[in-house]
Structure formats: C-alpha cells, structure tokens
C-alpha cells in the first residue's frame, strides 16, 4: 500500500499516514510513503517511493534505515540505470500505456510501451525489481509480466473504478496467474 497525496497539508498527511500504518500493520500489508522519507521514518513505514525532487536513494536510506524499501520513478532508461546504480530496490517504469488526463485541463501521457519494461529488465540486470505503472489494467497485466515486469502499480485503475474492491481482486488475480 503506497500513500500518495500531493495535495494534503503535512499535518493532515502525517495523521493520515499514522492511521494507515496502523491498518496496514493489522492486516500484514507493507506500507510505503510517496515522496517524503522523513514522514516515512516518522510513521515507521516499510519504505519510501522517490519521485522527482524527492531526494536520493542514499538520503532515503540514511533517514529510513538501511533495510527500508526504496523505489524510484523511472520515466526513462537513464532513470532505471541511475536507480540500479544507486541501490534502489525497485523502479516504477512509467507510463507503460497512454493515460487519460487525471483532471480536466491536464495533459494525457503518451505510453512508452512494453519495450520500456524489456529495456528496464535488461538495464536493471536483477539489481532492481521492475514495476509497470501507467494505464495498467487487469487485461494488460499479462503483457507487462511477459515483458519483464516483476509486478504492477496502479492508481486510476482503482480510483476511477465504480467497484475498486473488484478491480483490486482482478489485478491481484492477474498478477498471481503470472507468478
């Protein structure tokens, strides 16, 4: 479970993150904070995801501990190489498929295609886990896994669904079928 909320003020985010940490612990789920290693440390998250401007892997490990799980955004092959070289645990290759604008007036994102996953797998050479992000649906999980993804990450597939529980189960089952 990754907490990604770029709009909430830090005080509210800290409270929300603390409560999510309690819930994820109770159900045995890993908990990752997006973009804020300090907050991840404060709420005893299992890790942190670093996007643009969120600091380096070394800084995240210094704040969160040597065993914290650290992932990074990878919008290019160079970013995959940098993540693997810096000791990140995983990269989120994005966007794999074209995505709709998150809100009116926002731009669509052109997909990099599953070749981006193949390249990431080659560049990472087993040093980082590869996750597919961007336009991933249950129907597209198989092609992502076949192309080299170790897993998937989704946002809109759940948030835009009228039945997020059903969507989550379909995604889970699709990944499990390829493991």
Domain ranges across the chain: 1-70, 75-179
Mean pLDDT of the chain: 93
- Residue 122: per-residue pLDDT: 97
Reduced to 3 states, what is the DSSP secondary structure of residue 167?
helix
pLDDT tens figures, 108-149: 788 999 999 999 999 999 999 999 999 999 999 999 999 999
Question: What angle (nearest 5°) sits at the alpha carbon of residue 50, between those of residues 153 and 158?
Answer: 25
Please report, for residues 18, 70, 105, 118, 152, the alpha-carbon distance to residue 59 in angstroms, rounded to integers and kept in the order given. Answer: 22, 10, 35, 29, 25
The gap between the terminal CA atoms of the chain, to the nearest Å, is 19
CATH T-level topology, domain 75-179: TIM Barrel (3.20.20)
Low-confidence ranges of the chain (pLDDT < 70): 101-106
- Residue 54: per-residue pLDDT: 84
- Residue 53: per-residue pLDDT: 82
- Residue 110: per-residue pLDDT: 87
């Amino acid at each position: 479970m990754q907490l990604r909320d770029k709009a909430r003020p830090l005080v509210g985010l800290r409270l929300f993150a603390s409560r999510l940490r309690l819930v994820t612990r109770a159900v045995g789920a890993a908990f990752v904070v997006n973009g804020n290693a300090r907050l991840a440390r404060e709420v005893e998250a299992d890790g942190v995801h670093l996007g643009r401007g969120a600091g380096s892997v070394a800084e995240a490990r210094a704040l969160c501990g040597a065993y914290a799980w650290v992932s990074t955004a990878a919008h290019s092959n160079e970013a995959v190489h940098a993540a693997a070289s810096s000791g990140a645990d995983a990269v989120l290759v994005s966007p794999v498929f074209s995505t709709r604008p998150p809100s009116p007036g926002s731009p669509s994102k052109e997909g990099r295609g599953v070749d981006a996953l193949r390249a990431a797998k080659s560049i990472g050479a087993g040093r980082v886990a590869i996750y597919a992000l961007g336009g991933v649906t249950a129907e597209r999980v198989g092609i992502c896994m076949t192309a080299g993804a170790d897993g998937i990450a989704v946002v809109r597939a759940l948030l835009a669904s009228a039945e997020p529980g059903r969507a989550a189960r379909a995604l889970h089952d699709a990944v499990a079928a390829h493991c």
